[in-house]
Structure 1
Amino acid sequence: MITRLTPQDRSFYRLESSTNPMHIGSLAILRNRAPAGNSGHAPLDYESLLTLVESRLPLVPLYRRKVREIPFALGRPVWVDDAHFDITYHIRRSALPEPGTDDQLLDLVARLASRPLDHTRPLWEMYLVEGLSEGRIAVFTKTHSALVDGDSALEIGHVILDTSPAPRELADDAWIAHREPADLELLIGGLLHLATQPREALEVARHHGAEAFAMVDAAGKALRTLASMVRAATIGVPDSPLNIHTSRNRRVEVVRTDLEDYRKIRKRFDCSINDVILAVITGALRNWLLSRGQVLTEADTLRAVVPMSVYADGPSGELKPAGEVTSLLVDLPVGEPNPVIRMSHITHATEAHSRQERGVRARTLVHMAGFAPASLHAMSVRSASTFAEHTFNLVITNAPGPQQPMYIGGARMLEMYPVSPLLRFQALSIGLTSYDGRVFYGLTADRDAMADIAVLTASVHESMEEMLGACVQ
C-alpha cells in the first residue's frame, strides 16, 4: 500500500537537518512498584512494553511504515509498509546506575533528543529507562513531526496510555506488510500522479527543467528571502540571545508546578489559564535575561509563537479540549518589572491577536480516551512552523492532559513532559503539559547557547511566587 505524503508532511520531512531534527519527544515517569496489598501487580518491563506497543500499533498504522523518495525527486515522497519492520529496533532499553537521579535521566533524554531518527525505517523510537530511584522507570518516545497530523495519525505515546492499571484489550492484529515497491514502480506512480496534478507538476518542472527554469527558481527564492527580510523588519522582532545558529546538541530541563496555583491567579485577574502561563514564563525569562547582565527597559519584549489555544477553561477552571490547535504571535513584556502590569499586557495581547490565529485541525484527538497531550504537542510544533523565520524569538506550546491518573502497562504515570524540537535559529523551546493536578514544563535548549538553562528553570518558580504574591495585594 502506497500513500503520498501530504504537502505539509513533506515540508516537515524536508525541514529536518543534522542540527535541527524535527522529532517531538514525550517523557513519562512511572511508578513501577506494586502498591501495598497488591502482590499480583506485575512491574512494567521491556518484554511487557513490547507486547503493549505491538498491540496498539493498529491505532497508529504509520508507525509500521517508512518514507520512500520518488526517483529523481519527481513528486512528493510516499509512505510504504516496512517489509522488514522490527519492533525491537524501535523500542530500546536503557538503564541508569541505581539509584538513578532525575538529573541523570534528563542528561540521557537530552542525548537521545539530539540524535536524528533513521530515515530508512519508520520514523520513531521508544526507550524504556530503568534504574530510577524510588522504584521508578521512564518511557521516552520520539516521533518525527511528519508522522502526526492529529486527525488520522496520532503519536504513539497517546495510544499506549490507559485510564486503569488493567490495559484495555484490543482485537488481535493480523498485520502483514505489503510488498515494498521497486524504484521503477515509484517512478511510474509519481509520473501518473503528476499527470493529474498540474500545479505539482509545474513545481517539479521548475526544479528539473532547463537553465532558464533554474534561473527563475533562484530568482523566486531570492524574492521570497527578500520578502521574508522585509516582513521581519516590518514586524520588528526583538533582538535576543535566543536566536542563533543551533548546534547538534541539546539540553533538557523540567519544572513541576501545581495547577491550583494557576487557577488562583486566573480567578484573581479574570483571565485564562493560558494567560497565566504566559505571565509566569515572561517573569522567568525576565529574570534569566537580568542574570546575564542584560539591561532591560520597560518597553523590551520577546516575541513568542504560542500554539496553545488547544483547550478552553471551563466555568470552574477545569480544562476542556477544543477541536483545533491554533498559533498566534504574542509579545512578552520582559522589560516590565511589575507582575500585575505584565499580566495586563499579556491579556490584552492575546485578545488583540486572537484574530491572527493559525489553525490546524485536530479532530481525532478530542475523542480519544484520556486526551493525552503528546499528539497535541506534535500538532503545536507543526502549527508554529508555519510562521516565517526571524519573526519570533521562541516557541511556547501548551497542551492539556488528563486530570485523572493514567497508566502504561499497569504502571502509574507520575509525571509527563514534552520534549519539543528546536526550529531553525531557535535556542529554546518551552512545552507544558497539565496532568493530574500538576503543570509540567519541559524546556529544550541548545547546549552551546544555554549553558545557564538551570537559571531559567529556577526562575519559573520565582516568577510563580511573584504572581501569587500579586494576588494578595
Structure 2
Amino acid sequence: MADRLSALDASFLYVEEPSVPMHVGSVAILRRPPGEGLDYAWVQALILRRLRYLPRYRQYVRFVPGHLARPVWVDDADFDISYHVRRSALPAPGNDTQLFDLVARLLARPLDRDRPLWECYLVEGLEGDRVALVTKTHQSLVDGTDTLDLAQLILDTEPAEPTSLAEPVALGEDATWSGWGPSPRPGRARLLFDAVADTVSRPGEVVENVRNAAKDVTSTATRVFDAVGGVATTVRSLVRSVPRGPLHTRVSGGRVFSGVSADLDELRAIRRRHGGTINDVVFAVVTGALRQWLLSRGVPLEHTTTVRALAPLAVHPPENAELSSIALLGNRVDPCLVDLPVGEPYPVLRLQHVAHEMGQQVRARRSVAARAMARLGGFAPATMYSLAARAASSLSGRLFDVVVANSPGPQQRLYAGEAVLERIYPALPLSRDQALTIGVTSYNGHVYFGLNADRKALSDIPVLTGMITEAIAELKGTNW
C-alpha cells in the first residue's frame, strides 16, 4: 500500500508558491568545544546517524499523475547527506547582523521537491569561536506524531563524546549502515494503480483531494469557528474587513530576519508585579513593540485599535494521554485569534487586556502547561513551531495580521556532542498575505524572539526588534 500524504500534509504542497515557501526554520548558535567536534564532517556524521530515528527524512514526494490521489512518500535511493547538510561561512569575525542576513537568504529559498524536504547549514566564522546550525524543514514533513523536527534530535540534555556520536562516515556512503534499504521507486503505472485502488476502497477520496487542493471555503469557516470559540465571534471574524497597513500585504520572494533575547527573570519580575503568566507578558511585550513600530511608520492609532494575532496554542490530547516527545501533544495545536491592544498607551493596561484574552483561550482549550512542555526530550519547541505553522495555515490570511507563537523550552543547557547551545531563534514561515511572523522560545534562563518578515514590506525589521527590548524596559519601569 502506498505511503500517502495526509490531506493536511498535501495541502502545504498544493498552496506553496516560489514567493511563499512552506518551511519552518531555526537558528541555533553553539560554542565550539575544545579539541575535535562540531566541524563539517562531524555534523554530517551526527545527523546521518540520527536519521535512523527519522525515516521520513530519507524520503521525498512523488505526485500522482492527474492528481487522482494525494502524493506519496518514496524512499530516496540516491540519498546524499552532503546535499542536505551544507556548509557556509561569514567573514571572520562574523556578527549577529551578518548571520541574520544570511539566514534571511536561506529562508527565502524553496526546498527542492525532488529530494527529501529538509536542509541544515553549518555556518562558521562567528566571533567568539562559535558556529550556527540553521535548519529548514517543510511543513508537510513534521506532524509531531510520527516525525519530529530535526533540531529536536540533534540537541541532547547531556554532553557526549564526539566519538560516541559520529564515527567517520565516508561521504557518498549509502545509508545501509543502519539496516535501512530503500524500497523500489514506484513508476507511473504503479502510482496510477494505487490511486485507483484507493479510490475504489474510499470512493470519496477524489472529492476530498479536489476540496483540499482548492482550499474549500466551508472548511475554512469551520476551522475559524473552532479557533475563535463561538457563533457571534465567528461571524464577526468572517465579515471583518481585510486589514490594511504594513503587516497585511502580498509578500514578495525576499525575506529579512532578526533576533533578540531577553532575561527570563526580568519577565518573571514583571509577572509578579502586574499579574498574568509569562505567556501574557510575552504577548504584552510584542504588543508594545508593534505599537511603537506602527507609530514610527506614521500609522494612526486610536485607543481601540488592535492587531489581530494568530497565537497557536498547545492543548492536552484526548483522554489525558501522556505527553511525550514522540507523540507530541497528539498533534493538537489549535489556532487561536487574539486581538493585541496596540492602541492602548499604558503598558500595564495592555498586559491586562492580553491576560484577559489569553485566559479565555486557555480555559476553553485546556492549554498544556509550560512546565510540562519544558520536560519534553530534546528541544521540543522545534517541533512545536512546525505544528504552530500548520495551525496558522489552516486559517484564511484575511482573519489575522501576524502570527505570534510562543513555546517554552528547557531551562538547562543543551548540547550537540560536547558543544554548548548558547542561543536559538525560531523562524516561522510567512503566508501569502502576512508580512511578519514572530517565534518566541525560552531556554536556559533567556527568552529568544525570532522575527521573519517580507523584505519589501518590513525592511526596517531591526527597528521592530529593538522595540521589543524597549517594550520590556517600559513594563519593568512601570510601578502601577
* TM-score normalised by length of structure 2: 0.86
Q: How does 1:403-442 map to 2 (within 5 A)?
A: 403-442=411-450
Give SS of 1:147's match: coil
How far is 1:179 from its partner? 1.1
Decide whether the 8 Å contact of 1:418 with 1:441 is kept in 2. Answer: yes
Cα 1:80–1:195, aligned 2, differ >3 Å: closer, same or farther?
A: same
| Long gaps (5+) in structure 1 | 35-40, 208-216, 312-319
Cα shift readout 1:356-388 (whole Å, capped 9, x = no counterpart): 65999xxx9888523431111111111122222
How far is 1:165 from its partner? 2.0
Cα 1:142–1:18, aligned 2, differ >3 Å: closer, same or farther?
A: same
Give SS of 1:256's match: strand
Residue identity opposite 1:447 in structure 2: R
Decide whether the 8 Å contact of 1:48 with 1:409 is kept in 2. Answer: no
How far is 1:351 from its partner? 2.3
Cα 1:413–1:225, aligned 2, differ >3 Å: closer, same or farther?
A: closer
In 2, the alpha carbon distance for the partners of 1:428 and 1:388 equals 15
User: Which of the residues 337, 348, 352 maps onto 1:329?
Assistant: 337
Residue identity opposite 1:304 in structure 2: A
1:277 equivalent in structure 2: 282
How far is 1:389 from its partner? 2.2
1:68 equivalent in structure 2: 62
1:28 equivalent in structure 2: 28
Cα 1:120–1:437, aligned 2, differ >3 Å: closer, same or farther?
A: same
1:59 equivalent in structure 2: 53
How far is 1:164 from its partner? 2.0
1:295 equivalent in structure 2: 300
Decide whether the 8 Å contact of 2:120 with 2:136 is kept in 1. Answer: yes
2:266 equivalent in structure 1: 261
1:393 equivalent in structure 2: 401
Decide whether the 8 Å contact of 2:45 with 2:166 is kept in 1. Answer: no
1:125 equivalent in structure 2: 119
Cα shift readout 1:147-179 (whole Å, capped 9, x = no counterpart): 001111101111011122216769972211111
- 1:457 maps onto 2:457 in alignment: no
Cα 1:56–1:365, aligned 2, differ >3 Å: closer, same or farther?
A: farther
| Long gaps (5+) in structure 2 | 168-176, 225-233, 317-324
How far is 1:433 from its partner? 1.2
Decide whether the 8 Å contact of 1:333 with 1:346 is kept in 2. Answer: yes
Decide whether the 8 Å contact of 1:238 with 1:303 is kept in 2. Answer: no
2:454 equivalent in structure 1: 446
2:203 equivalent in structure 1: 198
Decide whether the 8 Å contact of 1:33 with 1:135 is kept in 2. Answer: no
Cα 1:226–1:155, aligned 2, differ >3 Å: closer, same or farther?
A: closer
User: Which of the residues 74, 78, 87 maps onto 1:84?
Assistant: 78
2:255 equivalent in structure 1: 250
In 2, the alpha carbon distance for the partners of 1:436 and 1:205 equals 46
1:211 equivalent in structure 2: none
Decide whether the 8 Å contact of 1:282 with 1:332 is kept in 2. Answer: yes
How far is 1:409 from its partner? 2.7
Give SS of 1:4's match: coil
In 2, the alpha carbon distance for the partners of 1:261 and 1:383 equals 30
Give SS of 2:140's match: helix
In 1, the alpha carbon distance for the partners of 2:397 and 2:366 equals 15
Q: How does 1:302-321 map to 2 (within 5 A)?
A: 302-309=307-314
Q: RMSD over aligned Cα, in angstroms? A: 3.0
Residue identity opposite 1:131 in structure 2: G
Aligned length: 445
